[in-house]
Amino acid sequence: MTATLLEIGKQARQAARGLALASSAQKNKALKAMAAHIRNNAAAITTANQNDLVAAQAKDLKSSFIDRLTLNEARIEAMAKGLEEIADLNDPVGRVQEKWTRPNGMEISRVAVPIGVIGIIYESRPNVTADAGALCLKSGNAAILRGGSDGFASSQAIITCLQAGLKDAGLDVNCIQMIPTTDRESVGAMLTSLNGTIDLIVPRGGKNLVARVQSEARVPVFSHLEGICHVYVDKAADLEMARAIVLNAKMRRTGVCGSAETILVDRAKPENLKPIIRTLIDAGCEIRGDAESMAADAAVKPASEADWSTEYLDAIVSVKMVDGVEGAIQHIAKYGSQHTDSIVTSEQKIAEKFLSEVDSAIVLHNASTQFADGGEFGFGAEIGIATGKMHARGPVGVEQLTTFKYQIRGNGQIRP
């Protein structure tokens, strides 16, 4: 590991100690100052972004990649506004999560505290620089950011604004640092904790990035590899509600992790199949189905075994008939990704079975899978969605970026 990387880790650890004790007012002052600096330096950010874009365009990258890399006036304003919104969230640090008194009079409180130092590894999306840095700051954690090489100049221009905001509020500028190189070795060093200074890694990006992080990280990771989300339409579903939910779950935005990839229909009510398929086809969705779905509508293409575990992130969906809620639960256990799954039914008992037996971070009854989002949960901004079972599951907002300690207040208690 280079001396620079080691130094960044040490500085982050030290900054984290001070930041853990910073007041809400001080952190919010920093966030608002960052927003002002971003607005005031929109020209410099745009120039840096232009440099990144020129270099990227020369590489003949995908248009979706170029789009994510691009900053314009509206996006820079959205970034500044995002920082102000994070300032407006409740401070998660110091919240007393539980409190009880022991028979001997000791009072035990479980109090939220920051995790420490969080490493964010992301692709060439400059807005993540502001967004992730701010969420870490709000939750009292120092951040070490390592963005994609194609967005390096843009991210640097943004970091300058963030650090200026920290300075304005009297906070250590090392609360948010950026890795100054874009070589792959720095990612490896972060995944092995930068010599014990990184407590948690959050990858933000596509499946390849997340897979590398998950397989190489020697520190905890909050992530989801993919969202193979299901909507199961039970025999007792209200058909109109089912159509609306299926349409929304698949087509509202097809590129988000909470979009549905497979629709399961109860074999006990085969007449539901055609209207559901038609609703999707009419909205421009390609259907890949099992034999029964193909029989229901001539536009349905055949699904292969691989389709049941494919995250299309596109206007494509797989459709299958299953034997009731039990069949749906089994299909999801086999092919799902423990992300978000929904049941549409009017029978409470069937809904409760689904909610309790499907082993996913988020399970819904009579609602769209696209609610898998920190904002929709009321968490404010989120740094991502986690499908692991440890610590954070589902949307990861500022509260999920904290851990806790037990504070015990006594008056001389000793243990018998």
Residue 39 interacting with a copy of itself (CB under 8 A) = no
* Residues within window 65-84 making contact with a copy of itself, judged by CB under 8 A: none
Residue 415 interacting with a copy of itself (CB under 8 A) = yes
Q: Among residues 68 and 243, whose Cβ is nearest to a copy of itself?
A: 243
The residue from 4, 17, 184, 314 that contacts a copy of itself (CB under 8 A) is 17
Residue 211 interacting with a copy of itself (CB under 8 A) = no
Neighbours of 103 (CB within 10 A): 5
Look at residues 147, 92, 374 and name the one whose alpha carbon lies nearest to residue 258: 374
Q: Among residues 148 and 394, whose Cβ is nearest to a copy of itself?
A: 394
The residue from 59, 74, 271, 412 that contacts a copy of itself (CB under 8 A) is 412
> Which residues, other chains included, contact 216 with Cβ-Cβ below 8 Å and sequence gap of 6+?
188, 191, 192
What SS3 class is residue 358?
coil
Q: Which residues of 286-315 are buried (b: 16+ CB within 10 A; e: fewer)?
A: ebbbbeebbebbeebeebeeebbebbbbee
Residues contacting a copy of itself: total by CB under 8 A = 60
Minimum distance, C-beta of residue 376 to a copy of itself, in the bound complex (Å)? 7
Q: Among residues 62 and 405, whose Cβ is nearest to a copy of itself?
A: 405
Say how many CA atoms lie within 13 Å of 4 toward its Cβ: 7
Minimum distance, C-beta of residue 302 to a copy of itself, in the bound complex (Å)? 29
Question: Binding segment for a copy of itself among 112-120, 148-156, 294-302, 316-324 (CB under 8 A)?
Answer: 112-120
Is residue 35 classed exposed, middle or buried when 0-12, 13-18 and 19+ CB atoms within 10 A define those classes?
Answer: buried
Minimum distance, C-beta of residue 323 to a copy of itself, in the bound complex (Å)? 18
Question: What is the Rg, in whole angstroms, of the alpha carbon atoms belonging to the chain?
Answer: 24
The residue from 200, 202, 263, 350 that contacts a copy of itself (CB under 8 A) is 200
Q: How far apart are CA 133 and CA 31, in angstroms?
A: 10
Residue 371 interacting with a copy of itself (CB under 8 A) = yes
DSSP string across 86-97: HHHSPP-TT-EE
Minimum distance, C-beta of residue 405 to a copy of itself, in the bound complex (Å)? 6
Q: How far apart are CA 150 and CA 54, in angstroms?
A: 10
The residue from 9, 82, 92, 116 that contacts a copy of itself (CB under 8 A) is 116
Question: Binding segment for a copy of itself among 64-72, 108-116, 144-152, 205-213 (CB under 8 A)?
Answer: 108-116
Q: Which H helix or E strand runs over 142?
A: strand 142-146
Contact between 318 and 262 under an 8 Å Cβ cutoff? The reply is: yes
Minimum distance, C-beta of residue 104 to a copy of itself, in the bound complex (Å)? 9
Q: Among residues 117 and 296, whose Cβ is nearest to a copy of itself?
A: 117
Q: Among residues 38 and 210, whose Cβ is nearest to a copy of itself?
A: 210
Minimum distance, C-beta of residue 313 to a copy of itself, in the bound complex (Å)? 17
Show the site string, 324-363: x = touches a copy of itself by CB under 8 A, - = not: ---------x-----------------x---xxx-xxxxx
Q: Among residues 187 and 362, whose Cβ is nearest to a copy of itself?
A: 362
What SS3 class is residue 82?
helix
Q: Among residues 212 and 252, whose Cβ is nearest to a copy of itself?
A: 252
Look at residues 141, 213, 212, 202 and name the one whose alpha carbon lies nearest to residue 177: 141
Q: Among residues 60 and 100, whose Cβ is nearest to a copy of itself?
A: 100
Question: Binding segment for a copy of itself among 15-23, 58-66, 273-281, 286-294 (CB under 8 A)?
Answer: 15-23
* Residues within window 214-273 making contact with a copy of itself, judged by CB under 8 A: 220, 238, 241, 244-245, 247-249, 252
Q: Which long-range contacts (CB under 8 A, 24 or more apart) does 166-169 make?
A: 166/30, 166/33, 166/34, 166/137, 168/29, 168/30, 168/33, 169/26, 169/27, 169/29, 169/30, 169/33
Q: Which H helix or E strand runs over 229?
A: strand 229-233
Q: Among residues 65 and 377, whose Cβ is nearest to a copy of itself?
A: 377
Q: How far apart are CA 373 and CA 395, in angstroms?
A: 6
> Which residues, other chains included, contact 54 with Cβ-Cβ below 8 Å and sequence gap of 6+?
none
Look at residues 71, 87, 76 and name the one whose alpha carbon lies nearest to residue 33: 87
Residue 374 interacting with a copy of itself (CB under 8 A) = no
Give contact residues for a copy of itself (rule: CB under 8 A).
Answer: 17, 20-21, 100, 102, 106, 108, 113, 115-116, 199-200, 220, 238, 241, 244-245, 247-249, 252, 333, 351, 355-357, 359-368, 370-371, 373, 376-378, 389-391, 393-394, 403-415
